[in-house]
Amino acid sequence: MTTYIARRLLQMIPVLLGISVIVFLLIRLGGDPVLQLVPEYFTEEQIAEVRADYGFDRPIVMQYLEFVSRAVRGDFGYSFHNRQPAWDMVTDRLPRTVQLAVAAVLLSIVVSLPLGIIAALKRNTIIDVFVTGLSVWGRSLPNFWLGIMLILLFAVNLGWFPVSGTGDFSNRPFLAHLFLPAFTLAFGLITTLTRLIRSAMLEVMREDHVRTARSKGQRERRVIARHVLRNALIPVVTVLGLQVGWLLGGAVIIEEVFAWPGMGRLMLSSIMARDNAVVQAALFVSALIIMASNLLVDITYTFLDPRIRYA
């Protein structure tokens, strides 16, 4: 396993280089960022001086090489607007996004797991039809619209939760601030996982080893827990790993709706302000999180299915 993890970490290096090229070129497609920094009354000579100060007057290959050499050291430059290190700005906001994403994943597992199991065990009954229909309907809801509706109902009208913002991690108001944005972010994942758990369990229940376990007289609850659910969770873990990118993308919108001070909201404001250094740092952090989650998913397989081994 150690050899496999080391090999996967080495494989991340060319992937990160490819991501660096894409990010660097995409940022440059937006035009000259210097024009967004200088006042309208600046002359061409003054604009050229500012461009030289930031190194935008050099060949693009040289700009890229310098960008990579600095990025390796965690130096993505300074924010054009806040005059703070871009990396520090992103890492300061990252914990809030991680809190939101982890809470969304936990909520989705807690809700979708029993729903999927019940739908599979009650196949072709009114319960199954209701759960499946609710999942299909819920998947069609835009998460930003759902967030606004939850704010209007539970925050504005009922006053059960705060409208926006966050609180201290160590106290109850933090959980009150966290619940609505986390549930909004988790809702789409809940609908996906519910249907996936149902279909995976139905597929595993038709396999020979499940029939063998039942023929040996094992209790149905034991058969479901040890032989069905454990094998059915493998595709669920795969989807969870693939949904990390979706969670980060959804967090951008959810954080804006709920005024949650996370990395997604910082990225959105930086894109609107064309603060390239911050955007680049945020995209790199997102790429690292996605690659790390994929590695974690592969490692989790070995715990769910002992037959899986990595050389």
pLDDT digits 0-9 by tens, 71-115? 888 788 888 777 788 888 888 888 888 888 888 989 988 998 889
pLDDT at 170: 54
pLDDT at 145: 87
pLDDT of 141 over the 70 cut? yes
pLDDT at 229: 77
Q: Which CATH superfamily is domain 93-274 in?
A: MetI-like (1.10.3720.10)
> What is the per-residue pLDDT across 49-62, written as a single tens digit (0 to 9) for each?
777 777 777 777 88
Top-confidence residue, 4 or 244: 244
Q: What is the arithmetic mean of pLDDT over 157-177? A: 72
Does residue 184 contact residue 173 with C-beta atoms inside 8 Å? no
- Nearest CA to 243 out of 101, 93, 145, 140 is that of 101
* Average pLDDT taken over every residue of the chain: 81
Does residue 165 contact residue 231 with C-beta atoms inside 8 Å? no
Does residue 280 contact residue 86 with C-beta atoms inside 8 Å? yes
Does residue 299 contact residue 234 with C-beta atoms inside 8 Å? no
pLDDT at 178: 84
pLDDT at 228: 79
pLDDT at 57: 74
pLDDT at 79: 82
**Amino acid at residue number 114:** P
Q: So where are the chain's domains?
A: 93-274
Secondary structure (DSSP) of 159-210: --S-SS----TTSHHHHHHHHHHHHHHHHHHHHHHHHHHHHHHHHHHTSHHH
Residue 7 makes CB contacts below 8 A (sequence gap 6+) with none
Does residue 188 contact residue 105 with C-beta atoms inside 8 Å? no
What gap in Å lies between CA 111 and CA 117, rounded to an integer? 11
pLDDT of 311 over the 60 cut? no
Does residue 135 contact residue 108 with C-beta atoms inside 8 Å? no
pLDDT at 169: 54
Distances in whole angstroms, Cα of residue 290 to Cα of each of 12, 175, 223, 260:
11, 26, 34, 21
